[in-house]
Amino acid sequence: MHPFAYVAPSTVAEAVAVLDKHGDRARPLAGGTDLLVKARANVWELDAVVDIKNIPELMKLSVSNDGLSIGAGVPCYQIYDNSQIAAEYPGIVDGASIIGGIQIQSRAGVGGNLCNAAPSGDGICPLIIHSAVAKIASTGGTREVAVEDFCTGPSRTVLKAGELLVSIEVPKPAANSGAAYTRFIPRNEMDIAVAGVGVFVQLDASGKNFVSARIALASVGPVPILAKEAGNSLAGKPVNDETIATAAALAKAAASPITDMRGTIEQRKTLVEVLTGRMIKQAVERARG
């Protein structure tokens, strides 16, 4: 492993200054549960690792009438231990509570999960369905990117050298909405998703009709996929088996998986259809309270 400097800044300005100085030979360290594995495997040769856990802004988790703000360094357990977040953002809690086991969840967060950009990342689809936005800083200022546009390929993101994810901003869900995320893994836990599906729905006041929906797919393409057509097919339609089956078939069509040691194209596409149906029903149940 190439020796690197460990830097622990206490402000965003200091952190981006170090990242800017070293360019692509420096990387932020959140939980380190992906970074250290990759550094040990010599995926990168790093001169500096910038620990973000001493920067208060990046460790802030807040939920209010304006929405949910997740600092880039906030560990998973703080998200799923928060009862208000569990009630209002259940899809995000579903994702955060299955990333690794308890030890991983006490270090790792959805910020690191997003920046790691694994197509199987369990934290990403839940953010996409909740219409989350990534807040990014650099020495040049700040910018915002919708999470659905953040990943550009396996382990690749819109982040340029010197940029730092500061937080993920999630709008407050409308009334009568619900969300759910699940994945298929061969073991009960601690495994990489063969396929994953997240669904967000907003129902009308009767609870019998969809107002809108967002569906996102994990592990069935080079990046997590927002299956727009599948979600849009539910808008204005009644909640019944036929409309759910149509959306599930459209989600299957939006998946473009590969065959690898974890599953085949056919298995993954079938999983997407089955899991989409299940997650729509679970999101509807949650929306109905």
Ligand X SMILES: Cc1cc2nc3c(=O)[nH]c(=O)nc-3n(C[C@H](O)[C@H](O)[C@H](O)COP(=O)(O)OP(=O)(O)OC[C@H]3O[C@@H](n4cnc5c(N)ncnc54)[C@H](O)[C@@H]3O)c2cc1C
- Which residues would be at the binding site for ligand X (CB under 6 A)? 27-35, 37, 52, 72, 98-100, 104, 107-109, 111-113, 115-116, 121-123, 159, 164-165, 190
- How many Cβ atoms are within 10 Å of 32's Cβ, its own excluded? 16
In this complex, which beta carbon is closest to ligand X, that of residue 121 or of residue 277? Answer: 121
In this complex, which beta carbon is closest to ligand X, that of residue 168 or of residue 234? Answer: 168
Coil vs helix vs strand at 221: coil
Supply the minimum distance, in Å, between the C-beta of residue 104 and ligand X. 5
In this complex, which beta carbon is closest to ligand X, that of residue 27 or of residue 286? Answer: 27
Q: Which amino acid is at 195?
A: A
Supply the minimum distance, in Å, between the C-beta of residue 231 and ligand X. 22
- Of all residues in the shown chain, the one whose CB is closest to ligand X is 112
Q: CB of 85 within 8 A of CB of 79?
A: yes
Partners of residue 169 on adjacent β-strands: 69, 133
Supply the minimum distance, in Å, between the C-beta of residue 288 and ligand X. 29
In this complex, which beta carbon is closest to ligand X, that of residue 164 or of residue 275? Answer: 164
Supply the minimum distance, in Å, between the C-beta of residue 242 and ligand X. 33
Supply the minimum distance, in Å, between the C-beta of residue 111 and ligand X. 5
Partners of residue 184 on adjacent β-strands: 195
Supply the minimum distance, in Å, between the C-beta of residue 44 and ligand X. 8
Angle, alpha carbons 44-49-51 (nearest 5°): 140
Residue spans of alpha helices (H) in 97-227: 102-105, 110-116, 124-129
φ, ψ for residue 55, nearest 5 deg: -100, 110
Phi-psi domain of 102 (left: phi exceeds 0; alpha: psi -120 through 50; beta: other) = alpha
Q: Output the six-digit token pair for 113.
A: 């999960």
In this complex, which beta carbon is closest to ligand X, that of residue 37 or of residue 235? Answer: 37
In this complex, which beta carbon is closest to ligand X, that of residue 99 or of residue 216? Answer: 99
Q: What gap in Å lies between CA 110 and CA 61, rounded to an integer?
A: 12
